[in-house]
Chain A
């Protein structure tokens, strides 16, 4: 304390008589002054959960204050997905619960679709309406005319319901709008996909190659953590991106590629690695087939050839190839996640897969490990009747190698003009905002207008809920049980989600919704447990634990059955391909009428005054679903359009100025977007973060903030192999003045 010394000094200076009294007071006060340290208010009854803000599903703990309010969510130390550390979205998950814009009661549409005039309804009335309509659709068009679009944990129960109802048209946009091409390409090559969380052994890699993948900005928690560990251990990062991404900033080599030319770069890398004998000869000989054909195929694809296409200095291409070879087999040419870019995406990822095979990284430490997954027992329920028709029958012969239903194909099958073999007439949409998710919004809206029934199940009033006939408010993941998480990882694991608190308002869990609906549809035999806890407990007991134990530990790790995380020396490996080998040359693709080896095809380039629209992720948001989360909008409440200073100068644009974007099809953005003049983007492209520009007024925080990339994506390059929607072929220009502003939906 300084007051005593001050007192003496002050008195000495004769500054005031008043001091004596107050100084004495201060001494007394300091004796009784409370320590700054608050006592930690820990509710000992913390409850386990796994996160639902993104699909990484990190397990954690929900802490409440002593008054019972949700306080914070912290990662579970045992969880391999997060290692006790949640990402910003997971930490900000509390905002999902507290968001005052949440859907509160079931709603039934009273005026025409899209006008957003609803009346509140009871659950019984809403579900009754849904079941009656479903039965009508089924009676008129067959049960397969119902489709389910879903993303997230709710899919487990709603899928069961739909299958029981007689339809297999269950699509997750994560397939055709995101990772489908990757999974098909890796399956075609290695006989196995790369799963989620990806089986990339980044932790131990010596060289990580990221092609248009911006780890760190896409906050796939475990991957970000492992990339950071790898940086610590001195691993090299090579980034291929027209944008100076966060990962690029941490890279030894950044290849500022001309957009849409990645295939040329990949082919030249394959060329370099083969013709310099950089490849893992023993590995290729033992495990791969079609090497000679590949070698012949890439003969002319030199770095100089690629330079003319990609604008990347051939020396840089060579150095990067050498770097990968030096690290081999502890090298990962990352398969990426959102890879639907130019319509030839499956082939491009095939090139990635081939590159990994040549470097011998599949099945090797620092490359790709063998995943292990806990196989949960399923409670015996009646067998599903095989549906009369599947989504494939709507457009026979289309997307021959697609292994999962293609969301956009289901949407196309809902539009009579497309002349599908049979028409989809009813949608249940759960946890996916199709308006922001599926490119070409006009097409989606046209499909909606042709439906007999559209039901939206969501926590938030998204754009899609505005178009629904019936809106069913689900509670957030913090207020419900859900299916056990048993995703693949280095070791098998289980994670439990349980409610931390009672659901707010009149919201319900997906299990409850699915089961109540099953009652009304006469399908309750598929949901034998009235309470979800009982189902979980039954499953957990089969797994050698119990609901009781899991409620205390949250995550349970099991040992691998065998010590086979990586291939053993000289291990004979049977790959799940037709040939049992890693297929460098894909006879499967050839048989389906596609190139057996990847080939470079030039793509459209922007016209004068137009710039390629590149979109991506911000670490604090998950697609458009977090756009209204109070904690996360606090970090980022709108997106900005990144413009190279040269371009900005040409247009006279300044940072923080608001402009509209207009695309090649003259579609003008609903809202204005802030300009960010930055060197971090190439001069032929602009960049925006996906998930903004919401036109749904009921989302008070994010309505009209920023611009929606999906709205600007009207040209879609569909992958003929599996139906993926290539979305990077749209070009935008800048509009500084707009005469009248029109807001859709």
Chain B
């Protein structure tokens, strides 16, 4: 099993619903977030193009955060999801320093927190909160090893890219372009 997410940059309007939905679903404290929206504009008026991306942890195959973690609190579970065990985390910050996507943040309670692909939901047959709420349906989630999963199908059909693949982390958050 290999969970992955694809974000359709053509449909995303950057409304940030994924961000609030994640915050409420996962009780992310106000002032922090596990996902966010990036807007990139290129060109000179009026020859312009713009890309909107809903970003979060890339659940890297070659996850530097897991590598750097001195206690094993950061680990990869079945399906390739990178998780942090709260009571094994010492809050040293190594994982945050090692993440090229700045996807982790220190929870006020001390441990480091990040996107879990809403593992508590997917284990119960639901999609992650951000995917379920997105009004533009621009987020696709599923198992890459299953050729019929939503994410496999859309990645086969459309051109996609990942963010900073040159960092060598093998990210699993795809952006449809």
A and B touching (Cβ–Cβ under 8 A): yes
Which residue in chain A gives the minimum CB-CB distance to B52? A246
CA distance A73 to B116 in the complex (A): 20
- Nearest CB in chain B to that of A216: its residue: B13
Query: In the complex, what residues of B have CB within 8 A of residue A619's CB?
Result: 13-17
Q: How far is the CB of A627 from chain B (nearest CB, A)?
A: 15
Which listed residue, B25, B43, B45, touches A644 by the CB 8 Å rule? B45
Stretch in B100-108, B127-135, B165-173 touching the partner:
B127-135
Q: Are A680 and B41 in contact (CB under 8 A)?
A: yes
> Smallest CB-CB separation from B124: which chain A residue?
A40
Q: Tell me the chain B residues, 108-129 only, with Cβ under 8 Å from chain A.
A: 116, 119-121, 123-124
Taking CB atoms and an 8 Å cut-off, the chain A residues in 72-125 that contact chain B are 72-75, 82, 84-88, 91-92, 94
How far is B160's CA from A76's CA once the two chains are assembled, in angstroms? 32
Taking each of B16, B43, B72, which has the highest tally of chain A beta carbons within 10 Å of its own beta carbon?
B16
Contacts of B85 in A (CB 8 A): 33, 36
| Bound form: Cα–Cα A319–B121 in Å | 48
Do the beta carbons of B133 and A86 come within 8 Å of each other?
yes
Q: Are B135 and A224 in contact (CB under 8 A)?
A: yes
**Which residues of chain B are near A37, meaning CB under 8 Å?**
119-120, 123
Complex Cα–Cα for A254 and B46 (A): 9
- B13 engages A634 (CB within 8 Å): no
Q: Determine if A509 is an interface residue (Cβ-Cβ < 8 Å).
A: no
| Interface residue ranges, A against B (CB under 8 Å) | 2-3, 26, 33, 36-40, 71-75, 82, 84-88, 91-92, 94, 215-217, 219, 221, 224-225, 227-229, 231-232, 244, 246-247, 249-250, 254, 256, 619-620, 630-632, 634-636, 644, 678-683
Question: Contacts A87-B135, A244-B41, A249-B49 hold; do A231 and B10 have CB atoms under 8 A apart?
Answer: yes
Residue of A36, A82, A86, A247 contacting most chain B CB atoms (<10 Å): A36
Q: Scan residues 6-53 of chain B and give those whose CB is less than 8 A from a CB of chain A.
A: 10-11, 13-17, 19-21, 23-25, 27, 30-31, 33, 41, 43-46, 48-52
Interface residues on chain B, size class:
35 or more
- Contact of A683 with B45 in the complex, beta carbons under 8 Å: yes
B138 within 8 A of A: yes
Check if B1 is an interface residue, CB within 8 A of chain A.
no
Kindly count the residue-residue contacts between A and B in the assembled complex, taking CB atoms under 8 Å apart.
141
Docked Cα-Cα span, A221 to B133, in Å, equals 11
Quick check: is B148 within 8 A (CB to CB) of the other chain?
Answer: no
Pair A36/B116 contact, Cβ less than 8 Å = yes
Given contacts A85-B135, A219-B135, contact A72 B25 (CB under 8 A): yes
Q: Tell me if B96 is interfacial: C-beta within 8 Å of chain A.
A: no
Identify 13 new A-B residue pairs, CB closer than 8 A, beyond the known A86-B135, A228-B13, A231-B11.
A75-B133, A86-B17, A86-B133, A87-B15, A88-B16, A91-B133, A216-B14, A217-B13, A224-B15, A224-B136, A228-B137, A254-B48, A635-B20
For residue B65, CB closer than 8 A to chain A, the reply is no
Q: A85-B135, A86-B133, A91-B20 are in contact. Are A246 and B13 (CB under 8 A)?
A: yes
**A635 in contact with B19 given A40-B120, A228-B135, A680-B50 (CB within 8 Å):** yes
Sampled A-B contacts (12; CB under 8 Å): A82-B135, A87-B15, A215-B13, A224-B13, A225-B137, A232-B11, A244-B46, A250-B10, A250-B13, A631-B24, A680-B48, A683-B45
Report whether B123 and A74 are in contact in the complex, using a CB–CB cutoff of 8 Å.
Answer: no
Given contacts A228-B11, A246-B14, contact A71 B24 (CB under 8 A): yes
Q: How far is the CA of A91 from the CA of B72 in the complex (A)?
A: 35
Q: Which 3 A-B pairs have the closest CB atoms?
A: A216-B13, A619-B15, A228-B136
Which A residues are in CB contact (< 8 Å) with B121? 40
Candidates B17, B46, B116, B123; contact of A256 at CB < 8 Å = B46
Q: B83: CB under 8 A from chain A? A: yes
Q: For residue B15, give the distance in angstroms from its CB to the closest CB of chain A.
A: 4
* Complex Cα–Cα for A682 and B10 (A): 23
Return chain B residues, CB-CB under 8 Å to A247.
13
Closest to B18 in A: A88
Q: Is the CB of A88 within 8 A of B10?
A: no
In Å, the complex CA distance between A234 and B23 comes to: 33
B24 with A679: CB separation less than 8 A: no
Bound-complex Cα distance A302 to B51 (A): 35
In Å, the complex CA distance between A357 and B44 comes to 36
Contact between B119 and A36 (Cβ–Cβ < 8 Å)?
yes
Q: Which residues of A lie under 8 Å from residue B116 when comparing CB positions? A: 36
Cβ contacts under 8 Å, B15 to chain A: 87-88, 216, 219, 224, 619-620
Of chain B, the residue at the smallest CB distance from A228 is B136
Complex Cα distance A671/B136, Å? 35
Given contacts A249-B48, A250-B10, A619-B13, is CB(A88)–CB(B120) below 8 Å? no
* Chain B residues with CB under 8 A of A644: 45
Give the distance to chain A from B127, nearest Cβ to Cβ, in Å.
11
A433 to B10, CA, bound (A): 36
Q: Are A36 and B77 interface neighbours, CB within 8 A? A: yes
B151, chain A: closest CB distance, angstroms: 16
Cβ distance B133 to chain A, nearest Cβ, rounded Å: 6
User: A638 CB to closest chain B CB, in angstroms?
Assistant: 15
When distances are taken between beta carbons in the complex, the residues of chain B under 8 Å from A74 are: 132-133
CA distance A3 to B16 in the complex (A): 40
Chain B CB within 10 Å, residue with most, of A3, A38, A94, A217? A38
> A631 — which chain B residues lie within 8 A by C-beta?
20, 23-24, 30
A residues in contact with B51, CB < 8 Å: 249
A643 to B: closest C-beta gap in Å? 12
A37 to B79, CA, bound (A): 13
Q: Do A634 and B124 have beta carbons less than 8 Å apart?
A: no
Partner of B20, one of A92, A225, A232: A92
Chain A residues within 8 Å of B16, by CB: 88, 619-620, 635-636
Chain A hits for B17, CB < 8 A: 85-88, 91, 619
Q: Which of B10, B30, B41, B137 contacts A679 (CB 8 A)?
A: B41
Determine if A679 and B48 form an interchain contact, defined as CB atoms under 8 angstroms apart: yes
A247 to B14, CA, bound (A): 11
Residues in A neighbouring B46, C-beta threshold 8 A: 244, 254, 256
Give A94 to B121 CA distance when docked, in angstroms: 20
* Interface contact B72-A3, CB-CB below 8 Å: yes
Chain B residues in 8 Å Cβ range of A632: 20
**A313 nearest in chain B by CB position:** B46
Give Cα A230 to B137, complex, Å. 12
**Which residues of B are found within 8 Å of A215, using beta-carbon distances?**
13
Given contacts A36-B83, A85-B132, contact A91 B41 (CB under 8 A): no
CB of B147, distance to nearest CB on chain A (Å): 21
Chain B neighbourhood of A246, CB < 8 A: 13-14, 50, 52
